[in-house]
Structure 1
């Protein structure tokens, strides 16, 4: 019977320290990933402390010295709690001090030393540090629950439940062991399973937060690749990608796609008079105006210093193209106030139509550009539809 109990203890603690060792490696690996939350490093230390507690317990079983076994085990188990709580504070980026966790844990370690010297009985010795473990685990559960929305998903909710369950386990374990000594092995197995759930959920939280930051970085990289950093409009690269989607709309019966090539008139004096910083503010204001007078199915892009392209979709009649051009021109002609200055700009707008003037964006932009230069050379602040190199006509000025 005694040998069977010994074998059960060996199996339970072998399982325990093996699992803890694996988690210590995983948290250590996670902590070395660039830009990983610092909580992972502290949890690598805390689970390592639990690993050494189980390893020492297993290694000292053969001595048969219960007082030595429990004290060595308890020293590292108590150390685990402030390490874990410090990890929670760092992971959640909480503005609270961690010295109270270490002070409480230090009191428990002092109690273990006193119990060793004074040869305090088993129940009192276990109850002393069990109460500390209970209080620190309850604090961990509260902190995680209060800030569980920091990480998407349910990982922190699971961690909250695991911490609460462990707190209850540590609170009741001394009583159960006192009443039913053979329950100790079962208690160790239950504690190992709850600790496994706790650290598995914390590891999931680390990886979830890492994934969230990775996706955000990817989104920012895509914005930098496809959006103009000054105005927030699409850039030329992204405009080319979106044009293919615009053509899908043009394949519907009687739908027309129009390219509006817009070059601001009288913009150079803005930079010369007020400086490039004010010029940038004017460009941002113009970009916002273009967005305000276009529809959600249209595409606005900045393709040069003061040059913009609007791809208008879902036109059913050519007169609607003229109305759109007139609307764009009216918005551009409105006075702009920036940096204490008031500016009156204009715009030369060249227009090309798909499929009448080309089947690729490059061809259509070239035709619209030629129409725009026709306006530039004939008084500015107007719009024209491309009508061929030989007979380019002015529809409206």
Structure 2
């Protein structure tokens, strides 16, 4: 029977050591990724210390069993120190590393005194259990007060596994003394399972931040690719990509689409005389006005220095396209006040219609551009539909 217990003991610690070592490698690799949350590296160190502690405890039934227990206890509380520092770094909470280090040193001194003065097993185990439970409670508080945005399920799993581990430590001594004297091997099996769950949840937390970074980077890249950095409007690339969806609305029965090519009048003198800073501020006001006067279904983009494109969908009569052009002109012809000075601008608008003037974005854009130049040649400050005969 004793041989079977010893073999089970060896299997538990060997398996636990192997699992801990794999986790330490995974966390270490994750910590080497640029801009990874620094808490990941501390957790890699913590689980590696737990791995070393399990290796040390494999000799618990040898002649130096007391020394092996001491080494395991010292490494166990060191693991908790690294775990808490990692929590402070990962969840951005106020946990002073100096205070944590002082707590650990005091506990290590107490363990050394308990070893040399041969405190009773109950006192020795109780002190170790209370320290570990306290550290786990601090870890839970760090998760709850942390400012890092984590998936609710991951955060809940971390809290629950830490709570179960804390309960496990607190019940270790009472159960071993009053209920089940050969509780040690069973306790280590349960403890190993809970630690595996805990570090699995921590790895999931690290991976979730990786995923968030990737999604944020993708969103930023799309924004840079499809947004005009000055005005915040869409750019030509975005309109080209979205044109197919706009056509889906235009292909409904008795509906069509209008493309407006808008060129600001009298903008060049503002840019040349008042400077590019004032010119940029004027362009930003132009973008704000156009967004305010257009419908939610319309698409507005800046495609050049002072050139804009608007796509109006779900139109049923050509007069509706004309009314939208008048509305845009009215908005853009109002005075612009920048840095205490007033500037007066206008706009020339060329309009092409789908499917009357073309079915592709490039064709409609070219014909609206041609209509805009027709308007400029005719005196500026108005709108004109594309006319194939004049073109």
- Using the TM superposition, give the Cα deviation of residue 297 of structure 1 relative to its aligned residue in structure 2, in angstroms: 1.6
The residue number in structure 1 matching 2:175 is 176
- Whole-angstrom distance in 2 between the partners of 1:218 and 1:321: 36
- Using the TM superposition, give the Cα deviation of residue 374 of structure 1 relative to its aligned residue in structure 2, in angstroms: 1.3
- Whole-angstrom distance in 2 between the partners of 1:198 and 1:79: 17
The answer for unaligned runs of 5 or more in structure 2 is: none
Q: Deviations over 1:247-302 (max 9, x none)?
A: 11111111111010000011112222321112111111111111111112211111
C-alpha change, 1:163 and 1:88, in structure 2 (3 Å) is: same
The residue number in structure 2 matching 1:222 is 222
Contact 1:16 1:51 in 2 (8 A): yes
The residue number in structure 2 matching 1:56 is 56
The answer for unaligned runs of 5 or more in structure 1 is: 393-397
Contact 1:375 1:384 in 2 (8 A): yes
The residue number in structure 2 matching 1:395 is none
Q: Deviations over 1:115-143 (max 9, x none)?
A: 12212222211212221111111110121
**Is the partner of 1:380 in helix, strand or coil?**
coil
**Is the partner of 1:167 in helix, strand or coil?**
helix
The residue number in structure 2 matching 1:37 is 37
The residue number in structure 2 matching 1:147 is 146
- Using the TM superposition, give the Cα deviation of residue 365 of structure 1 relative to its aligned residue in structure 2, in angstroms: 0.9
The residue number in structure 2 matching 1:234 is 234
Structure 1 segment 15-164 matched on structure 2, within 5 A: 15-58=15-58, 60-147=59-146, 150-164=149-163
After superposition, the CA RMSD in angstroms is 1.4
The residue number in structure 1 matching 2:196 is 196
**Is the partner of 1:150 in helix, strand or coil?**
coil
Contact 2:227 2:235 in 1 (8 A): yes
- Whole-angstrom distance in 2 between the partners of 1:105 and 1:193: 25
- Whole-angstrom distance in 2 between the partners of 1:66 and 1:124: 17
The residue number in structure 1 matching 2:340 is 340
Question: How many residues get paired?
Answer: 390
The residue number in structure 2 matching 1:10 is 10
- Whole-angstrom distance in 2 between the partners of 1:110 and 1:52: 20
Q: Deviations over 1:145-191 (max 9, x none)?
A: 23386212411211111111111111221222233330111111111
- Whole-angstrom distance in 1 between the partners of 2:81 and 2:131: 11
- Whole-angstrom distance in 1 between the partners of 2:220 and 2:32: 23
- Whole-angstrom distance in 2 between the partners of 1:238 and 1:143: 43
Is the counterpart of residue 317 in structure 1 residue 317 in structure 2? yes
- Whole-angstrom distance in 2 between the partners of 1:99 and 1:262: 64
Is the counterpart of residue 265 in structure 1 residue 265 in structure 2? yes
- Whole-angstrom distance in 2 between the partners of 1:150 and 1:355: 48
- Whole-angstrom distance in 2 between the partners of 1:323 and 1:220: 36
Contact 2:350 2:371 in 1 (8 A): yes
- Whole-angstrom distance in 2 between the partners of 1:266 and 1:5: 92
TM-score relative to the length of structure 2: 0.97
TM-score relative to the length of structure 1: 0.95
- Whole-angstrom distance in 2 between the partners of 1:149 and 1:213: 12
- Using the TM superposition, give the Cα deviation of residue 75 of structure 1 relative to its aligned residue in structure 2, in angstroms: 0.9
- Whole-angstrom distance in 2 between the partners of 1:181 and 1:53: 23
- Whole-angstrom distance in 1 between the partners of 2:276 and 2:148: 43
Contact 2:60 2:69 in 1 (8 A): no
Q: Deviations over 1:60-80 (max 9, x none)?
A: 135143312211111111101
Q: Deviations over 1:363-389 (max 9, x none)?
A: 11111111111111222111111111x
- Whole-angstrom distance in 2 between the partners of 1:347 and 1:147: 53
C-alpha change, 1:240 and 1:305, in structure 2 (3 Å) is: same
Is the counterpart of residue 205 in structure 1 residue 205 in structure 2? yes
Q: Deviations over 1:5-50 (max 9, x none)?
A: 2112111111211111111111011111122111110000000111
- Whole-angstrom distance in 2 between the partners of 1:338 and 1:97: 50
Q: Deviations over 1:316-364 (max 9, x none)?
A: 0000010000000000011111222211110000011111111111111
